[in-house]
Structure formats: structure tokens, C-alpha cells
Amino acid sequence: MRIALLTEGTLSNAQRGDGGWCGRLVEGLPEHEFRLYRLLPADRPAAPAGVPGPHGVHELALWGRRPGGRGPALHRRRGYQRAYEELIRSLVMPGERGLFGPALYRLAALNREDDALPAFLASGHAQRVLERIWRSPGADTAAGEPLVCDVLVAADLLEQSLRPLSAPWYGTGAAGLGGTDLCHVVGGGPAALPALVARELHGIPFVVTEHGLHLREQYRGYRSAPYRWPVRALLLAFFRQLTEETYRQAAVLTPGSAYDQQWQQRCGGDPARTRVVYEGTPATGRAAAGAEPDAPTLVWAGALEPGRDPELMLHAFAHVRAELPDARLRMYGEESARGYLAHCGAIAERLGIADAVEFAGRPAALADAWESGTAAVFTALAQRSPRLLADAMLSGRAVVATEVGVAREVLGPTGLLVPPRSPRALAAACLALLGDAERRSRLGLAGRLRAQERFAVEPVVGAFREVYLELVSRYPAFPARPGAEARPFARPAEYWVAGATAAPERAAGGGRLAAGPALAEAL
């Protein structure tokens, strides 16, 4: 099968599906032909794809400077303006949400004819349309008056977000998505735009894998973004509409946890088409941690920032220390909020536990961090990714975690869950573990087995092997012709065999190039 992997290859925190995950998938499924389509930031150097041997890598600069090009001709501009107006209406008018998808596909269709979309979106014509709809009575954004500067910023951001619509990836040519059997979107957001267009244009189904939801990251990120309220409202509406359209049109959704699945369902993901596939980690092959340290030691790991709540750990440890005077605490991680390390140090000083607490910085390997402790503790206020928890469980150490986000789902009965922001409860759980070696080893072993079962790489690969096969069996063979009746299994297996051997001849003559589609027409 020919599969197009669509990812946003940025290093932002919204990006969870970078090379590592895709690389493992491609390695695990050598029977399929993967092509990589990446959206890259324009101004920064791209990170290496990390995907070994894909059949072609196609890249498009998503953020940053607009690529050159001319705007639409005078007689075509009206079409662009109408489609753009519908897009904006669907974002700000409460009753017109349904216009979003059609407007998106209309813009993509217009761009395929003359490649003028980026220049149009950056032009004064688009800005005038945006301003007119945005300030029209009845718009959602009436609460915050959009000003001229907001129009400029919002038009710019929309232009950047819609850039994948003008990617040269459509059609059935060499780089075309039309020549693939299915698209696999890793990460959501703008990366799903090509898949949406390919589905509309060629009828190609797509799978959406998200580890950390793009939409939720936008909601979190835009809170501290340097944009005024109307811009925030417009862009978040855009991302919400885009996400809902993606979830509606996706053939299969594979969120990284049941916790993410709730969000996806809320945004229109059909539970019948959803399948939770945990993010596999190669750490499952690691040996369990060795002997426990002599002194009872708690290990805390994570970025030093208020969201991870290291203060709760310190306060709980003060209680633990009162009961167990030789207890120790090791805090791993670098500060990601300026001055937070000093703040935590001051708290430890004030609580009188500074001599027992060690801020160990970034560990050389996570396995070493877990090995240096008797039990691992997680105190985050929000646990969106199961990655770190699973890694701790794989060490075979017992885990205590606050009951937020994915913690309950990942730990299950193999760890202790305490309510967030409660030092006494956390201290009681830690004391219970530190005082009971037998329970500790039992929970640790159970946790290790649970994590090995759920977070291994093989189940991920197996799951996607099934998903892919199931998808192509459900989708008709040559759906590119609009109006043609769907005919499952209409494409004989020999078709692709013939196509593969004819490849050199195609390059030479080009006469056989249309053989596949022509056969499709005949069928």
C-alpha cells in the first residue's frame, strides 16, 4: 500500500509526532510504501525527519515569510473573495459553521487552477473581506472590537495556517497525494489540511493520530500569545473548526489515550471510528532498575514549572521527613520558568528540608533517575502525556501520582493515586510505600508489566497494520471520479504489481503513465 505520512515537523510543543514515532512506524511496516509530507517552519533549520527510507520526502514551509507569487487575475478575484468570505463567516457567525468545509475546499480548488492563494490571502482585498465580516453585526467577536492592527495580524496568521492548501501535493503526479491509497496525519492541525483536500478531491481516506491534541495545545498556547483578544478568538475559532472538520472526515481516529479521546469526542469524533493506540516507546526493552538505594529516597522528575507543581512535592516531603528522618528527595529536571529553581530552593529552605533535597538537574538517562530512588512521585496539575509516567513504570519502581489527566488510565491499579494539591494525602501515600517493601516491589512489578504490555512498539505497529488494511478494504478502489458509484474491491491486486514493474518505463516514455487511471476509468 502507498501511504502518505503528513506531519508538522516543527519543534514546538504542539508537535508530538516527530520523527521518532513515524520512524518506528515506517520501520515496523516494511511491506508498505511510505511517503513523508512535512510542514516546516520557514525561518528555522528543519530538524532531521528521522524516518528511515521513506519513498520520497516532500516539504513545505508553513510558518514565516510568504513564498513569492502573484495574486489572482482580476476576473478570478471575485471567486477567491467569495470563498474567503464564507470561510470567515463560518468562523465568526454563530449560525454558519457549516460553511467552513466547503469554503476550504473551494479555496483549494481555486488555487489549483492558478496558484494565487498565498498572494491573495496576504493582499489588501483579503484584509478588506476579513474586516467587513469581522465587524459585521451579529458576529461572535462583537465583544472585542477588532482594530486595523488586528486585521493585519489575523490575516497574516490565517495566510500561514492555510498555506498547506496551496502545496503542490494534489493531483495524481509523482508528488501527488492522489497516487496514494491513504493518508496518515500525525499531529493534527494544519497538517490535516492536505489530507482533507485529498479526501475531497480524490476520495482518499485518512487516519489521524494525535499524541497531545493540537487543539488543546492551541487553547493553552494562545492564552499567553502576544495577540489581542479578537485575534485570539478568530484563530481559535479557526483551529476549532479545522479540528472538527478533521474529526468529522477522518476515517479512523487514533488518540494516544482515552483522556484525549474524550476531547476528540467533544469535538465531533465518532466513538465508533475511534481507536486508542498508546504511544509505543522503545524503553519497554530496558531492564528493570536494580537494587534500591540504602536510604529511603523519593524521585521526582519533570520540568521545574508551576504546572508540574514541585512545591507540592516539597511540602509533602516535609511531612514525610517528620515521620522518616533519614528520607531523601531527588528532584530531576531543568527549570522552564525563569527563577523557579531558586524559588523551589527557597521553599525547601523554609521548610527545613534543604539538606535532604537534591536538585539533580537533567539526568543523563531517565532510567538512572528512577534507579536512584525507592519510589517515583508525580505531582503535576495536569498530566496530558503518558510518556513520563510509562517510563517510570517501566523501571519497576512503585509510582505515586496525582489523579489528573491520563494518570488513572496509565497507572490503573499498579500505582497510588492522590488528589492534586494535597500535601497530606501525597505524604501519606509516600510513607505507605516507603514503609512497606513488599507492597513496593509488588506494585512496581505490576506497573512494569502493565507498561510493557501497553506501551510496547509492536502493538502500535500491529494496530496500524490492521487499521490500514481495514480502511482500504472499506474504501472503493478508484473514487477519484465524482459521481461514480463506490465499488469496494474493484481494484485487482495485480494492478499495483504491474505498476511497480512499469516504473522505469514510465520514466522513459510517459506513455504508460496514465495506464493506472485509464484502467480505473474502464473499470
Partner 1 sequence: MTPPADPVRELLDANREVCEQATDPLEIAAALEDSGLPTAGTGRYRHADIFGLAEELYARVPRRPPVEESPPPVRERALAPAALGLAAHLLPLAPVALLGAGAAGGALAVLCGALGGAAAEHWSPRAAGAEPAGRPGRAWAALGHGAGTGLLLALLAGSAPGAALAVALGGGTAGWCAARLRRVGRRQLTAATLGEFRSRLRPALPLAVLAQLTATAALAVLTARGAGATGWAALLVLGTLLLLAAVVRGGGRQGTAATAVLTAAAGAAALTLPAPAHWLGAPPPGGLLAACLGPTALLAAAAWPLTGRPGAYR
Please identify, among the stretches 77-85, 234-242, 325-333, 346-354, the one whose residues bind partner 1 according to the rule CB under 8 A: 234-242
Helix axes 192-202, 229-249, angle to 10 degrees: 50
Number of residues that bind partner 1 (CB under 8 A): 47
By DSSP bridging, strand 33-41 and strand 2-8 are parallel
| 223 binds partner 1, rule: CB under 8 A | yes
DSSP H stretches of helix in 223-257 = 229-249
Residue 385 dihedral angles phi and psi, to the nearest 5° = -110, 140
| 267 binds partner 1, rule: CB under 8 A | yes
Nearest residue (CB) to partner 1, 229 versus 489: 229
Which of 23, 171, 178, 307: binder of partner 1 (CB under 8 A)? 307
Half-sphere exposure of 234 (CA within 13 A, CB side): 30
Please identify, among the stretches 145-153, 203-211, 296-304, 426-434, the one whose residues bind partner 1 according to the rule CB under 8 A: 145-153
Nearest residue (CB) to partner 1, 143 versus 522: 143
399 contacts 428 by C-beta, under 8 angstroms: no
With b meaning 16 or more CB within 10 Å and e meaning fewer, what string describes 55-80? eeebebbbbeeeeeeebbeeeebebb
| 144 binds partner 1, rule: CB under 8 A | yes
Nearest residue (CB) to partner 1, 184 versus 384: 384
Residues β-bridged to residue 63: 41
| 226 binds partner 1, rule: CB under 8 A | yes
Q: How far is the CB of 46 from partner 1 (least distance, A)?
A: 15
Q: How far is the CB of 148 from partner 1 (least distance, A)?
A: 5
| 147 binds partner 1, rule: CB under 8 A | yes
418: left (phi over 0), alpha (psi -120 to 50) or beta: beta
Please identify, among the stretches 201-209, 227-235, 290-298, 453-461, the one whose residues bind partner 1 according to the rule CB under 8 A: 227-235
Q: Which of 204, 145, 155 is nearest to 177 (CA)?
A: 204
Q: How far is the CB of 88 from partner 1 (least distance, A)?
A: 15
Residues 37-56 contacting partner 1, CB under 8 A: 43
Output the nine-digit C-alpha cell for 290.
536494580
By DSSP bridging, strand 57-63 and strand 416-418 are unpaired
Element (H, E) at 367: helix 366-371
DSSP H stretches of helix in 213-356 = 214-222, 229-249, 258-266, 310-323, 340-351
Q: How far is the CB of 65 from partner 1 (least distance, A)?
A: 7
Please identify, among the stretches 33-41, 47-55, 137-145, 159-167, the one whose residues bind partner 1 according to the rule CB under 8 A: 137-145
173 contacts 48 by C-beta, under 8 angstroms: no
| 154 binds partner 1, rule: CB under 8 A | no
Residues 475-514 contacting partner 1, CB under 8 A: none
Q: How far is the CB of 43 from partner 1 (least distance, A)?
A: 6
Q: Which of 381, 372, 489 is nearest to 426 (CA)?
A: 381
| 236 binds partner 1, rule: CB under 8 A | yes
Output the nine-digit C-alpha cell for 17.
509526532
Residues 318-377 contacting partner 1, CB under 8 A: none
Which of 152, 175, 354, 480: binder of partner 1 (CB under 8 A)? 152
Please identify, among the stretches 95-103, 105-113, 138-146, 491-499, the one whose residues bind partner 1 according to the rule CB under 8 A: 138-146
Which of 53, 124, 137, 339: binder of partner 1 (CB under 8 A)? 124
- Rounded to whole angstroms, the Cα distance separating 259 from 263 reads 7
- Rounded to whole angstroms, the Cα distance separating 83 from 473 reads 35
| Amino acid making up residue 279 | E
Helix axes 192-202, 100-114, angle to 10 degrees: 80
Q: How far is the CB of 382 from partner 1 (least distance, A)?
A: 5
Output the nine-digit C-alpha cell for 206.
485518512
Q: Which of 491, 377, 365 is nearest to 428 (CA)?
A: 377
From the CA atom positions of the chain, what is the Rg in Å? 26
Please identify, among the stretches 8-16, 235-243, 370-378, 498-506, the one whose residues bind partner 1 according to the rule CB under 8 A: 235-243
Contact track, partner 1, 419-448, x by CB under 8 A: xxx---------------------------
| 458 binds partner 1, rule: CB under 8 A | no
Q: How far is the CB of 23 from partner 1 (least distance, A)?
A: 30
- Rounded to whole angstroms, the Cα distance separating 91 from 345 reads 47
Helix and strand numbers (H, E) in the chain are 21, 12
Which of 237, 377, 431, 467: binder of partner 1 (CB under 8 A)? 237
Residue 379 dihedral angles phi and psi, to the nearest 5° = -120, 15
Which of 240, 330, 397, 491: binder of partner 1 (CB under 8 A)? 240
Q: How far is the CB of 194 from partner 1 (least distance, A)?
A: 25
With b meaning 16 or more CB within 10 Å and e meaning fewer, what string describes 447-470? bbebbbebbbbeebbebbeebbee
Q: How far is the CB of 44 from partner 1 (least distance, A)?
A: 11
Contact track, partner 1, 380-419, x by CB under 8 A: -xx-x-----------------xxxx-xx----------x
- Rounded to whole angstroms, the Cα distance separating 316 from 325 reads 14
- Which residues are at the interface with partner 1 (CB under 8 A)? 43, 65, 124, 127-128, 131, 135, 143-145, 147-149, 151-152, 215-216, 219-220, 223, 226, 228-230, 232-233, 236-237, 240, 259, 262, 266-267, 307, 309, 381-382, 384, 402-405, 407-408, 419-421
